[in-house]
Structures are given as structure tokens and as C-alpha cells.
Amino acid sequence: MFSTPASRKRLLNYTHILRKTVDVSDSQRACDTAGINDEYVYQLRKKLIELARDIEFALIHSELNSQAEVGNVGGTPATGRKMEGILHWIEPDPAGVTTDYLTSDEEGTITECGSPIARLTETVYNDHCQAAWDKGALFKTCYMNSIQKREFATFTTNLTRNINAESLKQINSVDVYQGDFGTQALILHRYMPKREVLTLDEDYLKISVLRPILVTELARAGNSTRSMIEAELTLKALAPSTMGKLIWGSNKYGVAA
């Protein structure tokens, strides 16, 4: 007897257009500005950095949205399409709505720290890793905010407090956690929600670029130089089961709040 192999599932995600604009007057460019050779070049570099920040934020927080209308309808601009970010990829589909066709074993793993809230504990974290392991996933990286990073530092198992005798410094930080379900790097991330910890195997996540970052100088309007910086990309999830998150953690270190 031959078994019938399961059909592969092609997951949906929209490309997301992110844009920044620059508008610098000729007067600003003509001035001898302290520390800056050209105001236009300075603003261009600044906006490129801001765009990189916006891309990083969208990859984490963006929520899938299709552009149902084109142009202005009744004077209201249409909302542009948006990609599904990592945090929303992990969420199961709402009742009555199926967008990714995933079973519970194929979706990401979500574990509550408490009901409704509680401090993150080592037991809860290992329960989370075990639930993912049962799906065939093994996390490699954890992203968290400052509060949850401090909570990780309170874990006692596989944790050694070191003192550097030469510099007389006590090392009181945890950047790598090694437990029954592998080793995870603990990354402090500014854009993570206070109550959540993101767990990933990043080998199964890709950034797909439709249009790379491009600076286009626009037609002059009066006495100013204008440019548009634009990119179009999306998040590609090869196996959503390799993602997970801990939710409902405390938003204040040391107490359940």
C-alpha cells in the first residue's frame, strides 16, 4: 500500500509599500550649516534610517490588509495594503475566517503567562518550548522588551552569576538560555510589546523584496528639491509552526501588573 502525501500549502501575504519623502528648500542648501555640508543629503540619509526603522516595525507589528479600493472614494483616500507581521502570523484565524488554511499543529505556539496576567516564569517558558517541540519546532531566538528581559534574568536553572576578578565587576545579565529544548539567544528589542515575548526559528522566515529601496528625485516645485524613498516587500513564513509567543506577561518588573 502506498500512502498519499499531504498537499503543500501556499500561504498568503501581501507586499507592503513603505515610503518617506524629503523636501529641502534651495535657501537651506545654500546656507553654511554647522556640521552639515548639504542639508538635502543630510535629510536624505536621515529618512533612509527612518525607513529602515519603519520596515523593522512593520515586519513585527503589521496586520494583513488588502487594498479594496483604488484612489479616492468620496474624498477619503484608500488604505494601502499591508503585510502580515510576525506577531499576527502566530495568531490563529478569527472565528469564521480562514486566511492561511493552517491546522492547530501548523500554526504558531501561543502560551499565556497567566490568566489574565502574571510574571513570566521559567516553568511557563519551558512549557511553551515543549508545546512547540511537540509540533516539531525548536526555537533559536527570543525577542523581548526590557521588562521581560529582566524577568529572564531571574531564572535560576542553568544560570551562573559570575564575578570578573580583574575588573571587579559582577555579571548579572542573561543573553543565552540553555534548557531541555535547546539553546535560545535572548535579544532585547525596542519594538516588542511589553507583555509579550517572541520565540522564533529564524531559518524559516524570509524577507521577500519586490522593489528594493530606491531614492527617486521628484520634479521641482518652486525653490525646493524633493525626493521620494520607497520600498516594497513582505514577510515570507516557510513554516509558521516554528514561531511562537508568550502573552499576558506583567508590564512591570517584579510584580503582576
Nearest partner of 241 among 201, 186, 207, 195, judged by Cα: 201
Residue 210's pLDDT is 97
Sorted by sequence, the CB contacts under 8 Å of residue 236 that are 6+ apart come out as: 13, 205, 206, 207, 208
The whole-angstrom separation of Cα 237 and Cα 233 is 13
pLDDT at site 183: 92
Phi, psi torsion values for 40, nearest 5 degrees: -65, -45
- Give me the pLDDT at residue 24, please: 96
Sheet of strand 205-217: strand arrangement: 16-25, 224-237, 205-217
Do the beta carbons of residue 24 and residue 224 sit within 8 Å?
Answer: yes
Give pLDDT, residue 93.
67
In the prediction, which pLDDT does 168 show?
A: 59
- Give the pLDDT score at 102: 82
Question: What cell numbers appear for 183 in the block?
Answer: 539553546
111 phi and psi angles, rounded to 5 deg: -125, 130
Residue type, 118: A
pTM, whole model, 2 decimals?
0.87
Q: Which residues of the chain have pLDDT under 70?
A: 68-78, 93-100, 157-172
Instruction: Output the pLDDT for position 163.
Output: 56
CA distances from 123 to 22, 59, 155, 244 (A): 50, 29, 9, 16
* Fold of domain 16-247: phage-related protein like fold (3.90.1690)
